[in-house]
Structure 1
């Protein structure tokens, strides 16, 4: 039968999928998680910025320290200058050199106190150090970091061999710079003009490189752990989302290929998410499709059976008409042929309406309908066609206007009442009475059609609403056995019910009760 039908509303329009619509869900899930990992990996480049700020801070500090040293040297006796350089070099962890006006080296803190930092030879270091330097180069290349010059001890050691010292002497102020030691650690250089020449400070900022590499290692370990978890979660999501979708898709394809009897669409009862709802909806849809196919097959078989009887009678009468010569018999045979033709015509008409009823109801637009006015108009048209040949009367108690108002299709609702009325008249005795009432009770509109016929046996309460089912004893060509089935289908399509009171509930006659949802306040 037809599904619940209401005024159609357009579905929400989904935004179009361009490139993402051609990528599998598994790939998209992985891409989203990898993108998040890429943001985390950006911390490596933040460390490059952090290192640059540390070096700038060290250069600024070295320039300040050297300025203070320059002032101390300016007031110290010349004989005490070498010892003063040695003490200041030990305290700052740097090497201090004093050059004379001619650019020659006059004093060196290392010659007095010894070296306080060591420049390591990369050839003598382990492979781990080489790997760390290679990673440094890769990150510097990706981050487009500025590469300082290589640190080289000049030979001979003169003031002109140091770029920072040359600029300091030209500008007359202290300046600083940076360079790379052979092991790719930073060398900090500061230079300032001295009263009798120039002052130079050099120090190895190995701790900066060590701090950055340590943070990079921690971030790398975190990135590896998060990557493993992210990939595992991605495959978990793909397993819980993509796999059931693929199962549903395969089942749907098999149903489409016509093997629906062999297919059990998984309902996934353990899932309470959207995929579970989709699985249940697909399973219900498949069941409804199977029921529709069964109903269509049964309907086709019933149509074949119902058409065979009048066709066999028509063929027999036509064959006999050729053999008889008596006029009375020929008149009887012609009457039989006419009755069979009318019966076939009625069958074809009702069959056509029953077959397209579901589709028409699914496309129908419902409106508020006053059933009292519809029934009154229908009865007026019947009166214009003439009185009933058997003298059956129809009584209708017209309700107040806008009382029995339901939402639906006016033509289809009138068809329900017309089929019920035809059924009641056909079962009523000659000169009988058929009563129609239309009332409202709470949120329902109730239409009753009562006759004075033999009534409906209790065991046939539901079967009389099936197609090609009838309890009449005569073969009346004006009835196809589809009227009540069509009426029930229309009532179901309007969200209503159609029932009958049997002989147990009514000692005389039958009463068909149509209930429809009412419109407006009672």
Structure 2
């Protein structure tokens, strides 16, 4: 993965991080409970449906009453006068209703409750048990919650005349059927419907009905719904608490461990990895543990690096100090020139050390901010070798052979300056270990999705137990005939840092042709074919 490919991911992560506004101060447990309880509240909206269900039942019953009155009207007109009372009695018993007839002036002509036994009785709520009072209180509460329309209470008029009934007045006035909804004293629907009938004279027939079955049906449905909502609510709260516990507790453990790491009071703070968790929290725990371990290794590496720097700088500083102190004691120009030469060499060595140390300490940070671009490794190595040949003197040096690849086949995404520095360090290392008449072979090839860069030398080779150590900073294994202080011991360490910053690898091994010497292999991710064609 290249540096420029990392940036879109960061910007995407910033876009996905939506700020919490109204719930910013809520704990995770509270949010889980709130979300689940809100879902139950929405489910409890079924009470609204029951209110519309009751309204539909009432409307249907009123329509049925209107149809029944129409049928009774036809039957009364077809019957003989002496059969009409028997027909009315049969109708009221079958429908459990009450029929009253009013003259156009409002006088009551007849009443089924006076000509026969009552078919329903309005119950006094004061004489009923407390359970009925609780049911009525619940009905009122639910009606208030759902915003049900209010209906008047039913009261028998002191003087039973047509003018006391709005539905009778409306029927006389319009000539059409009229109906009303009222609450009986025990809060059950009392429905009434009035219709003009034309017997010997026009009369208004009014039918009243105490529809207790509607209340029983609605209450039964409300009870079932309340039981279901209560069970779901209890289950949801328990599951929410369980879910909050499985999420919040490990997060708190991770937070406490992170605080201990920040405070630095314990050298080896163990961040729980939660191996049994296979969800996102487990992934987070293992990522934090790995991050903490990497941070600890980084700190240790920094401490070791500082110690190594101190050690490497002490020798040339001590040598310069000794040379300067000796200048005051020498008496000949030859001795003075010798001490000055020593001091000059030590100063140059210090300059190389400081430069390499500066580069080694900044490479990681610089690579993380660098925008990678396509680099043809073959062309880059060819240009490097041309420049090296132009700078070379006439003295004996190992020869360099480069197997140049076909143009465009070894393209990678990276920072050309840094890659050139890494490969140049590897070539310098090979040259330093090769004899004057030796040969350094360089090859760059593409194998699948990788570009391989191989540098072989004719030197003494590298012992297997030293093949990893040579990439450590200030590694001191140098050729015997090399002047002291000519190399800082950071070249291969810098090369590895640069290569790994490009998602590549560098390793030491034996030469493929079996000859004496060492082979350093660099692998880098090749540029994708689609990018090359695009």
- Relative to the length of structure 1, the TM-score reads 0.92
CA deviation string 1:170-223 (max 9, x = no partner): 222332212111111111112223433332211111111111111111111111
Question: For residues 461 and 211 of structure 2, what CA distance do their matches in structure 1 show?
Answer: 109
Q: 1:130 to 1:417 in 2, by over 3 A?
A: same
SS in 2 for 1:177: strand
Once the two structures are TM-superposed, the CA of residue 380 in structure 1 deviates from its matched residue by 2.4
Match of 1:204 in 2: 210
Once the two structures are superposed, the pairs formed by residues 186-335 of structure 1 within 5 Å of their partners are: 186-194=189-197, 195=199, 196=201, 197-259=203-265, 261-335=267-341
The residue that corresponds to 2:8 in the other structure is 10
Indicate the residue corresponding to 2:464 in structure 1: 458
Looking at structure 2, the residues matched to 154 and 108 of structure 1 have their Cα atoms a distance apart, in angstroms, of: 14
Residues 1:181 and 1:317: Cα distance change in structure 2 (over 3 Å): same
Whole-Å separation in 1 of the counterparts to 2:68 and 2:516: 120
Q: 1:433 to 1:90 in 2, by over 3 A?
A: same
Q: Residues 48 and 320 from structure 1, CA distance in 2 versus in 1: closer, same or farther, beyond 3 angstroms? A: same
Q: 2:490 aligns with which of 474, 482, 495?
A: 482
Counterparts in 2 of 1:69 and 1:305: CA distance versus 1, 3 Å: same
Instruction: State the distance in 1 between where 2:512 and 2:173 align.
Output: 123
Deviation at 1:112, TM superposition (A): 3.0
Partner of 2:51: 48
CA spacing shift, 1:392–1:93, aligned 2, 3 Å: same
Residues 1:113 and 1:411: Cα distance change in structure 2 (over 3 Å): same
* Alpha-carbon distance between aligned partners in 1 of 2:528 and 2:230, rounded to the nearest angstrom: 66
Compute the displacement of 1:275 (Å).
1.7
Q: What is the correspondence of 1:396-475 to structure 2 with a 5 Å cutoff?
A: 396-402=401-407, 403-429=409-435, 431-440=436-445, 442-443=447-448, 444-472=450-478, 473=480
Is the deviation greater in 356-365 or in 296-305? 356-365
Deviations 1:241-285 (A, max 9, x none): 232223223322332333463422121111222222121111111
The answer as to 2:508 corresponding to 1:500 is: yes
Q: Which moved more, 1:438-447 or 1:322-331?
A: 438-447
Question: Residue 19 and residue 219 in structure 1: after superposition, are their counterparts in 2 closer, same or farther (change >3 A)?
Answer: same
Pair 1:19 & 2:21 matched? yes
Which residue, out of 129, 132, 152, partners 1:129? 132
User: Which residue number corresponds to residue 95 of structure 1?
Assistant: 98
Q: 2:399 aligns with which of 394, 397, 404?
A: 394
SS for the counterpart of 2:119 is coil
**Deviation at residue 130 of structure 1 after TM alignment:** 1.0
Name the CA shift for 1:497/1:76 in 2 (closer, same or farther; >3 Å).
closer
Cα distance between partner residues in 1 of 2:56 and 2:523: 82
Kept in 2, the 8 Å contact 1:445–1:518? The answer is yes
Equivalents in 2 of 1:99, 1:79: separation in Å? 19
Q: Which runs of 5+ in 2 are unaligned?
A: none
Q: Which deviations, in whole Å up to 9, do the C-alpha atoms of 1:411-433 show, x marking residues without a partner?
A: 2222123212322333334x333
Give the number of equivalent residue pairs: 518
Change (3 A) 1:161 1:457: closer
In the alignment, is the contact (CA less than 8 A) between 1:424 and 1:434 conserved in 2? Answer: no
Matched, 1:385 2:391: yes
Q: 1:201 to 1:296 in 2, by over 3 A?
A: same
CA change 1:90–1:454 in 2 (3 A) is closer
* Cα distance per residue 1:44-75 (max 9 Å; x no partner): 11111111111111112222222332333344
Partner of 1:72: 75
Of 118, 141, 146, 1:143 maps to 146
- Give how far 1:102 is off: 4.8
Q: Residues 268 and 92 from structure 1, CA distance in 2 versus in 1: closer, same or farther, beyond 3 angstroms?
A: same
1:8 aligned counterpart, secondary structure: helix
Range with bigger deviation, 272-281 or 405-414: 405-414
8 Å CA contact 1:419–1:487 kept in 2: the answer is yes
Counterpart-to-counterpart distance in 2, 1:448 and 1:187? 100
1:151 aligns to what SS in structure 2?
coil
Partner residue, 2:65? 62
Q: CA 1:374/1:173 → structure 2, altered by over 3 Å: closer, same or farther?
A: closer
C-alpha distance in structure 2 between counterparts of 1:451 and 1:66, whole Å: 115
SS of residue matched to 1:117: coil
Is the Cα contact below 8 Å between 2:98 and 2:207 reproduced in 1?
A: yes
